[in-house]
Amino acid sequence: MTTGEEQKKLTTLSIRERKNAGKKIAALTAYDFTTATLLDESGIDVILVGDSLSNVFQGNETTLPVSVDEMIYHTRAVQKGIRRALLITDMPFLSYQVTVEDAVRNCGRVMKETRADGIKIEGGLPIIDVVKRVTDIGIPVMGHLGLTPQSINVFGTYKVRGVQPEEQQKIIDDATRLEDAGAFSIVLEKIPADLAQKVTEKVSVPTIGIGAGPHCDGQILVINDLLGLNEHFRPRFVRRYAELGESIRTHVRQYIDDVRNIRFPDKDESY
């Protein structure tokens, strides 16, 4: 990054404007201060504190167990590492689905206590009232359609969504509903590339894909997957840019060996 424009803090408006400018949006998840600092310094556009932290940080099988308090804890840490990227945090399961009033209170609390730039919520028609109300009171909303992991117990599988024509139409309709309700962008997860292209052409807000092909306005990955830290998870949409899991094991073994053989610490590392 060099120019003043590139250093400027990104806003939901600048992210929306990317669509018309034809400039792709690069997004990643982060769950801690150190990682957020590194991603921000690298020039990432959007950092999402995803409820995927339930899986990759807390070791749960699904995203369902994570709480509002835990999302707030991680988002506060991530926020301190960000100067430029747009910071979005996931609203966890049951924090926005019960009543609109409940959703407003929880989303408002997350915004007040974390300094996030916006929140992300999953689903279409059943949460449109929430998107509208939350947006109306000044909280930017990122939608999330396709494979919505908080509904995994209804889906019963993490397979690609939007294969059948009825579900394809539902995703297109939900995207339009989200846009009309005020969502500033929409994550499309694990749907066919041509469906993601249709949605992207239909709505005027940017789509951010994960396993949704190259036609989305941006892409997002879970940082642990990109870095090869989550080694057992290998869906085809993840490109591993590093093998940090293997690298960590190699270096920790080296450290153990050095300690056991009294090579660490040496004279220069002692007082």
CB 148 to ligand KIV: min, Å: 9
Tell me how far CA of residue 190 lies from CA of 209, 221, 233, 250, in angstroms: 8, 12, 15, 33
Count H helices and E strands in the chain, helices first: 12, 8
CB 257 to ligand KIV: min, Å: 36
Q: Cα–Cα distance between 248 and 118 in angstroms, integer?
A: 34
189 is catalytic: yes
* Comparison of 81 and 146: residue with beta carbon closer to ligand KIV: 146
CB 146 to ligand KIV: min, Å: 10
* Comparison of 3 and 97: residue with beta carbon closer to ligand KIV: 97
DSSP SS3 for 53: helix
CB 187 to ligand KIV: min, Å: 5
Half-sphere exposure of 123 (CA within 13 A, CB side): 19
Tell me how far CA of residue 69 lies from CA of 109, 114, 135, 144, 200, in angstroms: 10, 11, 22, 21, 34
Q: Hey, which bits of the chain come out as E strands?
A: 25-29, 46-49, 86-90, 118-120, 141-146, 185-189, 207-210, 218-221
Q: Which residue is nearest to ligand KIV (CB)?
A: 50
The one catalytic residue among 41, 70, 189, 246: 189
* Comparison of 4 and 126: residue with beta carbon closer to ligand KIV: 126
Interface contacts to ligand KIV, rule CB under 6 A:
29, 48, 50-52, 90, 187, 210, 220, 222
* Comparison of 153 and 271: residue with beta carbon closer to ligand KIV: 153
Question: Which residues are marked as active site?
Answer: 189
